[in-house]
Amino acid sequence: MKRTLVTLWVTFGLLAAQAAQAADVTLALRYRGETRQFENLTSRASSACARVAALCDKPLQGLVQLEASFEKQVDGEQADGFHFARPSQPGILYLTREGSAEQARVEIEITHIGGVVTRMGDGPALPLQPGLQSSGCQAVLNAGAGHPLLWAVPANGCRVGLPPGDVGRYRVRNLLLGYRLKMPNPASLAAGRYRGRIQYSLGPDRDIGLGSNRTVTALDTDSVAFHVELEVLHDLDVRFGADAQRVVLEPRPGWERYAGRHGLPGKLEKDIPFTLTSSGPFKVWATCSSSANVGCPLQAANGDRTPLYLAVSLSGALHRGSAVNRRALSLGGEQHALAFDLPADGPGLCRGLLHFHVLPQGMSGAERMKPGQVYTGAVTVVFDASL
């Protein structure tokens, strides 16, 4: 049985202008083929997550803290308020698998914006009562002075306004971003390492908006880059019967009626059943004990040889989009492996057969089997989740 883990590393990098600081936050997820579940291994924004655990206890969403800061002027009558905006549509990342052109589509959505807000001077405190405000911002965390504040931001943006006439100046540090990921179906991904990147601008009137140029100053970061690394390994379990290691090839009943002029049956064969469960794509190949380049000869004590042929049938799996029914399986090793996918509705139990056969009459006189001789050989069939 091969067990597979899926580890996802998402790096949030801050790319800044001259003299601006850069911040990197790594988001790590693991998909366990064994449990069919993602796990979030990210170093959390601890103080914020401790107070709003519901945003951090699901594997595909959470909060990250960036080493970014800015100052904000708020005027209840004329300015834009304590304004936040986010991309109205999820960002799309295409992750490329190492060593191939295969890609995986990932969506990331910014859901929350916040940080540690400090009043500068004697300005009024921000209205941070929990719940939806008339301006559209929803306060989800009001931890008090020196602690993070956090708002859920709708797709069209929102502002935390002051009463008319109130004027305040604030500094925001340790910028918080809430995120939500939408991952592809793991059953569709080949094992391997994938990498991709997406970048958002940050600041006044940017992708992640903090207000206008008139109200935002001292911003030390002007873009956020998301570097994504996804490692995929799959769980694969193959089970054969207790007697599967010994394969005795036999003619079909009544073969005598179809015997050739040499008195030999047209085919000796045996089907070996097995069951397979997998959390994703896998490949199958076979190797032969013989070093012959063509076929897989079984050998008799007198030195005679005859080629062995192998095929596979596998319900519930696809090969190049088609059902797997007596698909010829080369015995030439991994370089001749067949790759199998699972249907879109996900992994399940597949029932399969390995079809072994030889042609006693041979394709030529040299391959013709001689009565009374016992022909033997060894074949190793490999099921591999590491495409």
Q: Can you name the CATH fold of 237-384?
A: Immunoglobulin-like (2.60.40)
SS3 at position 242: coil
Beta strands 268-278 and 349-358, pairing class:
antiparallel
The four Cα atoms 96, 100, 104, 108 give a dihedral, to 10 degrees, of -10
pLDDT value at residue 76: 62
Question: By CB neighbour count within 10 A (0-12 exposed, 13-18 middle, 19+ buried), where does 43 fall?
Answer: exposed
Q: Where are the domains of the chain?
A: 5-232, 237-384
d(CA 165, CA 78): 9
Q: Is 243 left (phi over 0), alpha (psi -120 to 50) or beta?
A: alpha
- Cα(143)–Cα(113) distance, rounded to whole angstroms? 15
| Mean of the per-residue pLDDT values of the chain | 81
DSSP symbol at 188: G
pLDDT of the chain, 387 residues: tens digit per residue:
454 443 444 444 434 344 556 667 777 777 877 778 788 877 777 788 888 888 888 889 988 888 889 998 877 655 567 788 999 999 999 988 988 898 999 999 999 999 888 888 776 676 655 554 556 778 888 766 667 888 899 988 887 766 666 777 889 999 999 899 999 888 888 877 888 888 888 888 899 998 888 889 999 988 888 888 888 878 888 999 888 889 999 888 866 666 655 567 878 999 999 999 888 889 999 988 765 555 678 889 888 888 899 999 999 899 998 999 999 998 888 899 999 988 766 556 889 999 999 888 877 767 778 888 899 999 999 999 876
CA distance 387 to 383: 10
Answer whether 149's CB lies under 8 Å from 49's CB.
no
pTM of the model: 0.76
Which residues are CB-neighbours of 132 under 8 A, at least 6 positions away? 138
Contact between 28 and 41 (Cβ < 8 Å): yes
Pair 2, 385: CB distance under 8 Å = yes
Write the CB contacts of 371 (distance below 8 Å, at least 6 apart in sequence). Answer: 263, 264
d(C-alpha 272, C-alpha 268), whole Å? 14
Taking alpha carbons only, the member of 183, 242, 235, 191 closest to residue 348 is: 235
81 Cβ neighbours under 8 A, 6+ residues apart: 74, 135, 159, 160, 161, 162, 211
